Amino acid sequence: MFAAEDAQVAVAGRRKEPLEAVVREIQAAGGKALAVTCDVVIRREVEAAISSVVQHFGRLDTVVNNAGAVVVATAEETSDEDWSRVLAINLTGTFQVSRAAIPILRKSGGGSIVNIGSYLGIVGRQSRAAYCAAKAGVGGLTRAMALDHAKDKIRVNCVCPAIVETEMSLLFLSKAADPEAARKQRLAELPLGRFGKPEDVALMALYLASDESSWVTGTVFPIDGGQTAS
């Protein structure tokens, strides 16, 4: 979607194959894209990724932090390892990428950081202790960075989806004891009666990256089919 609006897009992640598939899709449509392998919890990899993007495209204007992981467990049931992993990927990863990008965005004359949080950073849910904590932290980090870097013309906002039809969420539902019942239960929680689509989230990220949102910073936007309103 960014590429369709003439953005040059770098996609980053741990697995090379899906990154290259996205790059091919963008290039086939006439756009420009770069695949960068990177684990967001490893500082040197993050810094190397940011550096390679700038070397390739010459500048950086927008960052979308979209790495995520979840564990289904209460606080009592959550192991040290799972707690550390969920916070590292969701919260520390967002911090690491943002910290590395801010000096580059400043040199570009400003820009936009879009953090993908979760509605579970706004409300709670049973057996999501680590995930709720991590995503609430993303919201707090968003507000703090927005205030710290408004003078640099860097805007920072957070998008908070409910369940979206992604590989991770569909796999999660498929592992339920009764997948169809689990699906119906989750749909019943959504006043608009459908799961989110990746395009729903991408449209908001695109808006927050664009000049149309030039007076928007420090916000936490639920995109959740009405779930947090109920």
% of residues, the chain, pLDDT over 90 = 94
Cβ-based neighbour number of residue 10 at 10 Å = 22
CA distances for 177 relative to 63, 84, 168, 183, 185, angstroms:
38, 27, 17, 11, 13
User: Catalytic residue positions?
Assistant: 131
Which residue do the tokens 């039809």 mark?
A: 165
The CATH H-level (homologous superfamily) assignment of domain 3-161+205-223 is NAD(P)-binding Rossmann-like Domain (3.40.50.720)
pLDDT in tens, 144-191: 999 999 999 999 999 999 999 998 888 889 888 899 999 999 999 999
pLDDT in tens, 40-69: 999 999 999 999 999 999 999 999 999 999
Q: What are phi and psi of 189, to 5 degrees?
A: -80, -10
pTM of structure: 0.96
Q: What are phi and psi of 187, to 5 degrees?
A: -60, -35
Structural contact between residues 182 and 173, judged by C-beta atoms closer than 8 angstroms: yes
Domain positions in the chain are: 3-161+205-223, 165-195
